[in-house]
Structure 1
Amino acid sequence: MSTDQLGPFAQFLGIDLDAADGDEVSAHWPVRSDLLQPYGILHGGVHCSVVESLASLGAALWLGDRGKVVGVSNATDFFRPVGDGVLRSVARPVHRGRTQQVWVVETRDEQDRLVARGQVRLQNLT
């Protein structure tokens, strides 16, 4: 599956799509040393970026030719520090309406432990 749909920033982060449609987006991505904060753990902004990227893709695929989507809020909680390895993120819709969508993205480590969970509200621009 092509990461072109995610854009150059997501490609820089190393997001590798596993599957993507209007009902679910899944991807895996490496924790790299250049993405760590000074304490040696993955920067929270990277988590937020992955959450926004996957939720936006799923929302856009669902909306299709009816318009475009843009994020209007992103709240991400961090549960477990990670300093290396490969993470897997899955985005699923909570609400898909005429004007807005809400998607939840869970990120898990290689031992299937929950690392972060984010929620994105997106505006449907039709």
Structure 2
Amino acid sequence: MAWDPTRPADLLAAMPFADGLGIDLTGAAAEHASGTLSWSSDLCTSGAPLHGGVLMTLADTVGAVCAYLNLPQGADTSTVESKTNFFRPVRAGTVEAVAHPLHIGRSFIVVQTDVFEVRERVLVGQTTQTQTVRTR
């Protein structure tokens, strides 16, 4: 089967670090991308909450997919700036990241990704990232 950039499994396979963390890309469209990650003790920091870097990786992965799906044909992208606010720790369960574009321009795409604790649907973090549009 050929690689398909609209198939979440193919997009995730292109990001081995995210795949290795256990991120599951659950949706992939230009207007909305989403993914989940389950709590695991080996992804935690002191006191057993998920490490902030893990949450940022989830947000960056899902945000990058959203940006990628908004690129003009033949272009690629890379994160040039990312800012995350954390609102509460995640000590169990699953988190979901939901990304949508805030700005789609010729040179940059800005994506906002909200990270929720799934069971209680509580916002645990928010990432805004700027992706450059690189043409060949």
Provide the TM-score with structure 1 as the length reference: 0.94
Which of residues 6, 9, 17 in structure 2 aligns to 1:3? 9
Equivalences, count: 126
Q: What secondary structure sits across from 1:103 in the alignment?
A: strand
Which of residues 79, 85, 89 in structure 1 aligns to 2:93? 85
Q: Map Cα deviations across residues 41-87 of structure 1 (whole Å, 9 max, x no partner).
A: 11111111111111111111111523001000111111011111011
Which has the larger helix fraction? 1
Q: What secondary structure sits across from 1:54 in the alignment?
A: helix
Gaps of 5+ in 1: none
Cα distance between partner residues in 1 of 2:71 and 2:56: 22
Q: What secondary structure sits across from 2:79 in the alignment?
A: strand
Provide the TM-score with structure 2 as the length reference: 0.87
- The within-5 A match list for 1:47-126 is 47-109=55-117, 110-126=119-135
**Runs of 4+ more than 4 Å apart:** none
Deviation larger for 60-69 or 33-42: 60-69
Alignment partner, residue 28 of structure 2: 20
Cα distance between partner residues in 1 of 2:24 and 2:9: 6
Tell me, yes or no, if the aligned pair for 1:47 and 1:76 is still in contact at 8 Å: no
Cα distance between partner residues in 2 of 1:58 and 1:34: 28
Cα distance between partner residues in 2 of 1:124 and 1:74: 15
Which of residues 46, 50, 66 in structure 1 aligns to 2:54? 46
User: How far is 1:15 from its partner?
Assistant: 1.2
User: How far is 1:23 from its partner?
Assistant: 1.0
Cα distance between partner residues in 2 of 1:119 and 1:59: 12
